[in-house]
Amino acid sequence: MACKNLVRAINVNVFTLLLVLAAGWQSPLHAKAPPSGFAALPKQQQAMLDELEQRTFEYFHDSANPANGQMPDHWPEQPGSDYFSSIASIGFGLTAYGIGVERGWMKRDEAVKRTLATLKFFHDAEQGDQSDATGNHGFFYHFLDMQTGKRYHSARWVELSSVDTTWLLYGVLFAQSYYERNTKDEKEIRQLADDIYRRADWKWFTDGNPLVEGGWTPEHGYDLNYYRGYNEAFGLYILALGSPTFGLGADTWKRWTETYDKTWGEFQGQTHLGGGPLFWHQYTHAWIDFRGIQDDYMRAKGIDYFTNSQRATLAQREYAIHNPMQWKGYSSTIWGLTACNGPRGHTPKGEPDRYASDPKRFYGYIARGAGIDYNIDDGTIAPTAAASSIAFVPEIVIPAIEEMKKRYGDNVYTRYGFVDAFNPSFTYTDRPIRTGKVVPDIGWVDNVYIGIDQGPIVAMLENYRSDFVWKVMRKNAYIREGLKRAGFTGGWLDKPAAK
């Protein structure tokens, strides 16, 4: 409690304010571009960001099963470990294909072929109550077999996931709006995408309530974990409201936002709608441009969700500077807490979740974060947390990318960009770890990539550079309708969709 009170009391430091002022940062309610432009960067920084984006794009290109569009949750496959597809990774991957085409890293014909195979698979895949189906009621199981596309091992812990289907559907709708040429294959992409989106029965997933359930399994039914209050499901409700077939009513958005005030406040000198892990502030923004558009809640606060994410990112960096738990490595250029892998290995049932000599706990995969009423911090830094915030605050993200590469080199930056995570405080060599290795004088570093951490890096780097994904999604009628039903007005949303 003392640490929590301390970090709440600390004001944003002068250095951060100088960075913001130097960037000429104005409220995105009036700005037409992110705080600083890619074209104005030194050539060396441009080349660095271009390389990071291309390497991260190649993760999706090289890891996918082109026959059915499946993309791995984590990759490369680890000997003796589970290996499966993630439907959320696929949504990011479908978007990455379009980025690859625009950047010249992938031929359009190849992107069309792969996208068409992916959409055909999900359009035709078995839906039903059976335990080995791919989905049910238009939603899909969180993890699927890489080869068959069926529910992974029919494992009872693999749920039909509303929020992970959401990220898949954003990729599907991106494909619908991006592939607009008058060819047979691109016409089919648009039609398949339309069918897949319209089939999702959002009303079924509410189980008769205004809010959407998190998961369902044929073995246990609904998980009774409704999405309510600010978190990553922000983007879920926009899709649920936009559906012309099973759409939810405007009262759903009211219920979703009515608990916002529990996490609105000041943290590390930034007054904003809080959320511990940074992916809460990033995922929906990967596809939707929130600059200058507001719902009733943000209208009353005088900001928009883009500004809110800027503030959340600045607060996380400030948290790392003050480092209340005194982890190794944290600084103004080494920061970023979000959901990611960690150094902790599997803990057998009945054993303590920390070693007796450890004053602080270490975790494996968990949603790390720091914010109002949220603190899960074990010294593990996820490069995606900073890198995927580049569209919000490039003036602090670019130095972070540079410093992570400079300080840790090819221990963390390899063939497909940044590995998922690293922890300078975990230097033990006598403890089980699930992934990664302990490097002398460096600490624990992962040796795998996770699709849902790679995806936002590609999308947000491209949005920073060109607004590309945002421009594509502004044209999508379902996204526009969902935003309007949620009460958003202003900016690009009040203008006709671009042709």
pLDDT tens column, 242-258: 999 999 998 999 999 99
Region(s) of the chain under CATH 1.50.10.140: 64-262
Residue 357 pLDDT class (50, 70, 90 cuts): low
User: Cα separation of 297 and 261, whole Å?
Assistant: 10
The model's pLDDT over 148-177, given as tens digits with 9 standing for 90+, comes to 999 998 667 899 999 999 999 999 999 999
Sheet holding 160-161, edge to edge: 135-136, 139-141, 160-161, 215-217, 221-222
For 64-262, CATH gives 1.50.10.140
Least confident segment among 158-172, 310-324, 354-368:
354-368
Residue 347 pLDDT class (50, 70, 90 cuts): low
pLDDT of residue 250: 87
**pLDDT surpasses 60 at 89:** yes
With a CB cutoff of 8 Å and minimum separation 6, the contacts of 303 are 27, 29, 272, 294
pTM of the model: 0.92
Amino acid residing at 145:
D
Task: Copy the structure tokens of residue 462.
Answer: 């491209």
Using an 8 Å Cβ cutoff, are 114 and 69 in contact?
yes
Amino acid residing at 12:
V
pLDDT of residue 350: 52
The model's pLDDT over 29-59, given as tens digits with 9 standing for 90+, comes to 434 444 459 999 999 999 999 999 999 999 9
Region of 249 (left: φ > 0; alpha: ψ -120 to 50; beta: rest) is: beta
349, exposed or middle or buried, with CB in 10 Å at 0-12, 13-18, 19+? exposed
The model's pLDDT over 445-468, given as tens digits with 9 standing for 90+, comes to 999 999 999 999 999 999 999 999
pLDDT of residue 31: 40
User: Cα separation of 204 and 322, whole Å?
Assistant: 46
Residue 79 pLDDT class (50, 70, 90 cuts): confident
- The chain-wide mean pLDDT, for the chain, equals 90
Give the residue carrying structure tokens 């490369």.
Answer: 76
pLDDT of residue 35: 46
The model's pLDDT over 384-432, given as tens digits with 9 standing for 90+, comes to 999 999 999 999 999 999 999 999 999 999 999 999 999 999 999 988 8
Using an 8 Å Cβ cutoff, are 193 and 176 in contact?
yes
pLDDT of residue 17: 41
Q: Which residue has the higher pLDDT, 184 or 36?
A: 184
Percent over 90 (pLDDT), the chain: 81
**pLDDT surpasses 60 at 313:** yes
pLDDT of residue 210: 84
pLDDT of residue 196: 98
